[in-house]
Chains A and B, each alone.
Chain A
Amino acid sequence: GAVVSQHPSRVICKSGTSVKIECRSLDFQATTMFWYRQFPKKSLMLMATSNEGSKATYEQGVEKDKFLINHASLTLSTLTVTSAHPEDSSFYICSARVDGYEQYFGPGTRLTVT
């Protein structure tokens, strides 16, 4: 299957700082990437759809000014959590769409805000 990487895998930051998470498709070009967050023992919650060269489409209830998404190339999308607070602590996972509607997930980034 297609390989998607994420960096960093784990990050701890202080409240009020910003954190950038990178998502890369390693062996294919992804016109569409998705960002999810997942709380413990809960299912995936789609945050936004990221299309190369255009603005991200955010799901209802997701603050676009807080979660900045940039999809600058066909292999890279970034999520920046701005002014992070403890309630932003979560498992953030990106995925990339391949052919059709199959999505392959990155390994995830565990964010802890202290």
Chain B
Amino acid sequence: QKEVEQNSGPLSVPEGAIASLNCTYSDRVSQSFFWYRQYSGKSPELIMSIYSNGDKEDGRFTAQLNKASQYVSLLIRDSQPSDSATYLCAVNLSGNTGKLIFGQGTTLQVKP
């Protein structure tokens, strides 16, 4: 089992819709979770971090964490064509190495 799993997609949504991206992880002790956005040919950009169970909202983005079920999700409201990118879920390994394990990413396509 991969440590961090994401559906590679592509996930296609119409402009203005809600995009829902999901991620599961295997290490029960993980405490820190991140969502990165990566445009084609560019490096990843941190868009959300979440550490506690529940929801965390930032503008059009909402991260949701459920440690009991070992999943973390990202909702993008009012999706725009500029949101089209690959979204990477990252999980901090237990311990204090600071290392993040990345999922393979979900490609999101927002169609005008």
Which residues does A use to contact B, with CB under 8 Å? Answer: 1, 32, 34, 42-44, 46, 49, 93, 97, 100-108
A97–B98 Cα distance when bound, in Å, is 7
A101 touching B43, Cβ below 8 Å: no
Tell whether A102 pairs with B104 under 8 Å between CB atoms, given A49-B99, A107-B42, A107-B43.
Answer: no
A65–B14 Cα distance when bound, in Å, is 49
Which residues does B use to contact A, with CB under 8 Å? Answer: 32, 34, 36, 42-46, 49, 51, 88, 90, 92, 97-100, 102-105
A44 touching B98, Cβ below 8 Å: no
Which of B34, B88, B92, B97 interacts with A43 by CB under 8 Å? B88
A49 touching B97, Cβ below 8 Å: yes
Tell whether A105 pairs with B44 under 8 Å between CB atoms, given A43-B102, A49-B97, A97-B98.
Answer: yes
Which of A32, A42, A49, A105 interacts with B45 by CB under 8 Å? A105
Least CB distance, A93 to chain B, in whole angstroms? 5
